[in-house]
Amino acid sequence: MTDAVKKAQANTRLAWIAGVGASAGLGAALARRFAREGVSVAVTGRSRERLETVVAEIARAGGHAVALPGDVTSESELAAIVRQLAGHGTLEVAIFNAAGGTRAPTLELTAEQFEAAWRVTTLGGFLFARAALGRLLAAGRGSLLFTGATASLRGRPPFAAFASAKAGLRSLTQSLAREFGPRNIHVAHVVVDGGIDGERLRTSAPQRVAERGPDGLLDPEEIADAYWHLHQQGRTAWSQEIDLRPFNETF
């Protein structure tokens, strides 16, 4: 690698987004939003095919993205991804958008299902943060952002596994913010309070989409705008947590 190439890579701004799936989903919307600002994007998820679709969309729009598939619950896979990030730029923002959970009454919820929700959402958030922080601290600044949910704030049936995992993730972000904020790393948690108008909800609960009416669900692109603005906040006025919901959502 020539010195010119190394210099170009060092000057390339990079965002790493974990939890990218369908094109009509929040992870993909986040990738497109940051790419639109001239930031190179590394997208991580379980499906290489879906990641490549998002990468192709960004390329067609004139941006740059790379697919780095992996499992956020695997330390070794995250470590391998972090090693690859160095070849794509200087990491300035890392976003954890992955989540796992089973909808079931408590007495029907298995220990394996409960643990699986925790592994993806809470343990995955910890492992992702630890992997990303090394690069962010080396750069001397950056943002570490996490996707939360209504369940981050309150639990109700049949979401015992999901709610406990999301609440754990929220607590983790508070700990990280207090530890790494003074080291110039902006750690923020975004409470997405309502249904997201994406592939998952439209496929699994089309009746809910109809019930909510026009603008009754969160638009992924508008959620992504909020993440970009979080990343742009000056450090004299950082938000540690924000909440987003449609105009007609009760809270």
Per-residue pLDDT tens for 143-155?
999 999 999 999 9
pLDDT, position 208: 84
Closest CA to 224 of 87, 22, 35, 21: 35
Mean pLDDT of the chain: 94
- Whether 249 is in a domain gets the answer no
- Whether 100 is in a domain gets the answer yes
Cis geometry, peptide bond prior to residue 158 (ω within 30 degrees of 0): yes
Would you place residue 1 in the very low, low, confident or very high pLDDT band (cuts 50, 70, 90)? low
- Compare 60 and 101 and report the one with higher pLDDT: 60
CA 197 to chain centre: 16
Q: To the nearest whole percent, how much of the chain has pLDDT over 90? A: 87
pLDDT tens per residue, range 68-96:
999 999 999 999 999 999 999 999 999 99
What is the domain range of residue 58?
A: 3-244
Which domain CATH number covers 203?
3.40.50.720
- Whether 40 is in a domain gets the answer yes
Span 98-125, mean pLDDT? Answer: 95
pLDDT, position 10: 59
**pTM (global) more than 0.85:** yes
Partnered with residue 244 across adjacent β-strands are 192
Q: Report how far residue 171's alpha carbon sits from residue 184's, in angstroms, rounded to the nearest whole number.
A: 20
Domain count, the chain: 1
pLDDT, position 4: 43
Which two three-digit tokens encode residue 15? 């965002």
- Whether 251 is in a domain gets the answer no
